[in-house]
Structure 1
Amino acid sequence: MNEELLTQEWQALIRQYSDVLPVLQALAESHRVDLARNFYDHMLENPDSSPYLSHEQVRTQLSSSLQRWVVSVFAAQRAEQVLECIEMQQHVGKVHARIEVPVSLVLRGARQLKSHLSRLLLESELDAQLQHAATRLACQLIDLTMEIMSQAYSASHDRNSRAEEAYRLFSVSQNLGAEKERQRGALLDWENQLMFALATGQQASYLPRLGDSEFGLWFRHKASHAFQGSPESTSILAYIRGIDSQLEALRAREAGERQELPIDLLRQTREQTKSIRFLLDSLFEQANDLEAGRDALTHLLNRKFLPVVMSKEVLYSRQSGHGFAVLLIDVDHFKQINDTYGHEAGDLALQQIASLLTSNTRGGDYAFRHGGEEFLLVLVDIEAGRALQVAEGLRQRIASEPFRIGGQTLQLTVSIGVAVHDGHPDYQRLLRRADQALYQAKRDGRNRSILLAS
C-alpha cells in the first residue's frame, strides 16, 4: 500500500471541497458524542456484532476511540496529518483482522455513520448547495478510510491465515513417526498390488495407479501442500506421474490378449518406488526440522505461531468462559553471562531454562522462545491467583537450579510479568500488559513476579 499516493489522493479530495471542509470539522467536533452513541446503538441491534461489542470495557473504549476517529478524519489537512490518519486506518484494519471482526460489520458501521452525518447536514442551516458538497466530501472521505482499512485487513488476514495453516500442519506433524510408517506402509501395499497384478498377468486396465492409491491420494492432496516448494516433493510428484504414465502406456498397447510379463517395467517401477521411499524419509526428516515451528536452540515454539495460539485462546475463552494468562519471562543480567563466559555459555543457559519451563508446565500450556533471553508462556484454563502462583513457582525453581556452564556452576534468576485475559478481543492488549508487568518486575529489582491487574 503506497502511503504517498494515498496522501496525494486524500489531499486532492479535500482541496476539491476546501470550502466545506471547515463545516465538516465543526460538525464532527460538536456532534462526536452523538455520532458515537448512534453508531454503537445501531451496531448493538445487529446480533452479528455481539461477540465484539458485548464487553463493557470494549464498548467504553471503542466509543471514545470512534469519537477521536471521526474528528481526526475531517481534521487532517497537511501532508503529515493526512499520513498520520492513513497510518491510523491501517492500524485499525490490522486490529480488525487480528480479532476477526467481519469486514461486512465494519462496512455496515461506515454506512450508518455516513447516513447519520447526512441527516445532521440536512438539519443544519447551510444552503442546499453547501449541504450537498459537505455530504459528498464526508461520504468520500469515509469511503477512502474504509478502502485503506480493508487493504490492511486483507493483507493482515492473509498472513494470519497462512500462519494458521502452517500451525495446523505443524500440529498434525506432531505424530510424525506414526504418519511416516503409515505412508511407507501404504506405498508398500501399492507396490505389492502392482507386482501381484503384473505377475498374474492381469489386464493393464486393472493395474493400480499410484496416484489413485492411498499413498498417492495422501501425497497429492496433503503432503505436496505441506512440503510445497521442496525438491523432494517435486521429485515424488514427478515419479508418481511417471509411473502412472508408464501404466497408461501399457494400457494403450494392450490388445486384449494375454501379454508377456513386462520385466523392464517391473524393474523400473521397483527402482522408482525405492527412490520415492528415500525421498519420503528425507521429507519427514525435514518436517522434524525445528525451524518449521520450533526455535532451533531451545526447542520451544517460536513466535511464528504466537498470533495463532493467542487468537485461538481468545476465541476459546469467549466461547467457554474460561480464562488464560500470559507469562513473559526475562533472564536477569543475561548480557553478563555472554560477556563473561561467551555466547555458547549463554546458549546453554537458555537451553536449561527452556527445559525447566517445559518440565514444569502442563501439557495444554504453550511455551515460546520470545526472542533473545525472553520466554513466553500461555497458561490455559487458569485464573489470576493461580497464574501468579505458577509464575512464582517457576521463578523459585529457576533460582534454585544450579546451571553448569563451561565447567562452572552459576545461579540464574528471572523476572516474570503476568497478565490474565479479561475478555478483550485483541490479544495484543494482553501481551502489552504482560510486557508492562515484566518492566515493573525489572524496575523493582528483578528476580520477582508481578501480576498486572486489569
Structure 2
Amino acid sequence: MHQIPIKQLMSEWQTLTQRFPIETASALQNLAVQHAPELADLFYREMLADPISASFLTHDQVKNHLHTSMQHWITTVLSTAALGDIQTITEQQKRIGRVHARIEIPVSLVMRGARLLKGRLIELIEQDAQLSLPTRNNCIRLSSELIDLALEVMCFAFSQSHDRNSRAEEAYRLFSVSQNLSDEKERQRAALLDWENHLMFELALGSDPKNLPPLATSEFGLWFRHKASHAFQGAPENQTILDYIAHIDQNLAQLTQDQPDKTRDLLRQLREQARSIKYLLDSLLDQARELEAGRDVLTRLLNRKFLPVVLGKEVLYSRQSGNSFGLLMIDVDHFKSINDTYGHDAGDLVLQHIAGILSSNIRGGDYTFRLGGEEFLVILVDITPEKAMQVAEKLRNIIANEAFHLPPDKEIALTVSLGVAVYNGHPDYQTLLQRADKALYQAKNSGRNCCILSP
C-alpha cells in the first residue's frame, strides 16, 4: 500500500501552520490549554465505555499516565502553529504510533477517539464568545487539520512498525521450534512419557486426584502451548493437540477415589489421547524444517530479532489466560576484564558456557536470548514473582559455583547480576523490559552477584 513519506507530511504540516493568521494560532493554543483537561476526560470516558479499547486501558499504570499524556498531546498538537516546532511534534506522533503497534491498538479506535475530540473541540470553539466569527471558523479548520495530520504521522509509524512485526512474526513461527527437529521430537516424546509415568505413579500410590499433575503445566505442555502451538498456528493438528491437552486435564479433574470403574474408563481415554498427541506431534515436526535465521551465531540462543514477537505473544497470552510471565535480565560481572586479561576467544568460551547453563536449567516452555555482549535475557512463562526469584537465585548460584575452563589450562570463577521483573498487566512490553533493566542496574550497583526483583 502506498504511503506518503514522513518528510512530505512534515512539509505539509509546516505549510498548514503558515496558512492561518497568528491570531488564529494564538487563540487555538489558548483554547487547547484551557480545555485540555475536559477533552482528556471526554476521551478517557468514551474509550473506557468501549469494550475493545477498555481492555487496553484498564491497567492502573495506564489510567494514571493516560490523562496527563492526553492533555500534553492535545496542547502540543493544537499549539503547533503557535510554537512552530514541527520536528519535535512529528517525532512525538511517530513514538505514539510505534507504541500503538507494539500493543496492537486497532487504528479504528484511534480514529474514533480523534473524531470525539474534534467534535467536542468544535463545540467549545463555537461557544467561545470572545472570538470573532472569522477566528472561530479558522480555529475550527486549523484544529481539525492539525489533528488529522498528527493521526496521519501516527498511522505512518504504526504501519511501518506493524509491517516489521508481521514479518518477524511469520519468521518466528517457522523458527520457534527450529532446534534439531529429530532431537526435538525425541525430547518432547520423552517429556510426554515422563508426564504419563508420573501420573500413573501418583495413581498407584493412591494420591488425591486433586494433586495429579496437569498435562498443560508439564514440561511438554509448557513447550507446546508457548512455543510449538505458535509455530504451527493454522495447522489442524495444532488445535487438535491443544484440545486433547484441555480434555485430558478436564478428565483428570473428574477422577475420584470412590468410583474405580469410572476412573478406569477415564484412564483408558487418557492413554488413547496421549497416544494421539504423540502421533500428531510427529506429523507436525515432520512437516517443519529448520530455520537458522534469528539464532545468535556464538551461543546458538535466540537473538533480538524475535524478542518483540515473543514478548507480544506472552502479553496476549497473559491477558487471555490470567497467568503471568517474568523476565530475567542477566549480565556477566566484570566481563571486560576477562577479554582484557585472557583475550576475546576466552570471552567467547565463557559466553558459550553461560548460554549452556541457562539453556540447561530452564523449562521447555521458557526462552533464552542473548541480547548482545555479555547480556542475556530469560523469559519465564506461567510464573509468579516468588518463583521467578527462585529461578534467578538458582541460576546465579549455579554460575557462581561453576568452574570456567580456559585454554590451555586456566580455570576461573564468574558471577552474574540479575534483574527480575514479572508482568503486571501493562499492555506495552517495553515497560516490562525497562523494569527488568532497572532492576539489573540496581543489582550491579548493590555489589553484583545478586538478584533484584522489580516492584
TM-score tier after normalising by the smaller chain length:
0.7 to 0.9
Residue of structure 2 equivalent to 1:7: 10
Residue of structure 2 equivalent to 1:383: 384
Which runs of 4 or more aligned residues in structure 1 lie more than 6 Å from their structure 2 counterparts after TM superposition? none
Residue of structure 2 equivalent to 1:339: 340
Residue of structure 2 equivalent to 1:309: 310
**Which of 87, 92, 95 is the aligned partner of 2:96?**
92
Cα distance, 1:355–1:315 mapped onto 2, change above 3 Å: same
CA separation in 2, counterparts of 1:323 and 1:11? Answer: 46
The answer (yes or no) to whether the contact 1:402–1:409 under 8 Å persists in 2 is: yes
Residue of structure 1 equivalent to 2:415: 413
Q: Which amino acid aligns with 1:86?
A: T
Does 2:33 align with 1:29?
yes
Pairwise CA distance, 1:437: 0.9
The answer (yes or no) to whether the contact 2:180–2:290 under 8 Å persists in 1 is: no
SS in 1 for 2:85: helix
Does 2:30 align with 1:17?
no
Superposed CA offset, 1:379-425 (max 9, x none): 11111122112111111110110000122110001111111111000
Cα distance, 1:78–1:371 mapped onto 2, change above 3 Å: farther
CA separation in 1, counterparts of 2:395 and 2:178? Answer: 29
Listed as ranges, the matches of 1:50-449 within 5 Å are 50-77=54-81, 81-125=85-129, 126-171=131-176, 173-174=178-179, 176-177=181-182, 288=290, 290=292, 292-406=293-407, 407-449=409-451
Q: 5+ residue gaps in structure 1?
A: 181-283
CA separation in 1, counterparts of 2:84 and 2:311? Answer: 34
Pairwise CA distance, 1:75: 2.5
CA separation in 2, counterparts of 1:8 and 1:289? Answer: 43
Superposed CA offset, 1:271-312 (max 9, x none): xxxxxxxxxxxxx9xx6464x131111111111110010000
The answer (yes or no) to whether the contact 1:326–1:420 under 8 Å persists in 2 is: yes
Residue of structure 2 equivalent to 1:227: none
CA separation in 2, counterparts of 1:129 and 1:80? Answer: 22
CA separation in 2, counterparts of 1:318 and 1:380? Answer: 13
SS in 1 for 2:412: strand
CA separation in 2, counterparts of 1:60 and 1:120? Answer: 26
Cα distance, 1:337–1:9 mapped onto 2, change above 3 Å: same
Pairwise CA distance, 1:5: 3.7
Pairwise CA distance, 1:13: 0.9
Pairwise CA distance, 1:430: 0.5
SS in 1 for 2:378: strand
Residue of structure 1 equivalent to 2:50: 46
CA separation in 2, counterparts of 1:146 and 1:31? Answer: 20
Q: Which amino acid aligns with 1:448?
A: C
The answer (yes or no) to whether the contact 1:3–1:83 under 8 Å persists in 2 is: no
Residue of structure 2 equivalent to 1:192: none
Cα distance, 1:387–1:172 mapped onto 2, change above 3 Å: closer
What TM-score, normalized by structure 2, do the two folds share? 0.73
Q: Which amino acid aligns with 1:387?
A: A
Which range moved further: 98-107 or 14-23?
A: 14-23
Q: Which amino acid aligns with 1:367?
A: T
Pairwise CA distance, 1:350: 0.4
Pairwise CA distance, 1:166: 0.2
Residue of structure 2 equivalent to 1:242: none
Bigger radius of gyration: 1
Cα distance, 1:412–1:174 mapped onto 2, change above 3 Å: closer
CA separation in 1, counterparts of 2:398 and 2:177? Answer: 32
Pairwise CA distance, 1:3: 5.0
Residue of structure 1 equivalent to 2:241: none
- Alignment RMSD: 2.2
What TM-score, normalized by structure 1, do the two folds share? 0.73
The answer (yes or no) to whether the contact 1:7–1:79 under 8 Å persists in 2 is: no
Pairwise CA distance, 1:56: 2.6
Pairwise CA distance, 1:434: 0.8
The answer (yes or no) to whether the contact 1:11–1:79 under 8 Å persists in 2 is: no
Pairwise CA distance, 1:172: 5.2
Cα distance, 1:396–1:178 mapped onto 2, change above 3 Å: closer
Superposed CA offset, 1:204-262 (max 9, x none): xxxxxxxxxxxxxxxxxxxxxxxxxxxxxxxxxxxxxxxxxxxxxxxxxxxxxxxxxxx
State, as a whole percentage, how many aligned pairs show the same letter: 56
Q: Which amino acid aligns with 2:167?
A: R
The answer (yes or no) to whether the contact 1:349–1:403 under 8 Å persists in 2 is: yes
SS in 2 for 1:450: strand
Pairwise CA distance, 1:171: 2.7
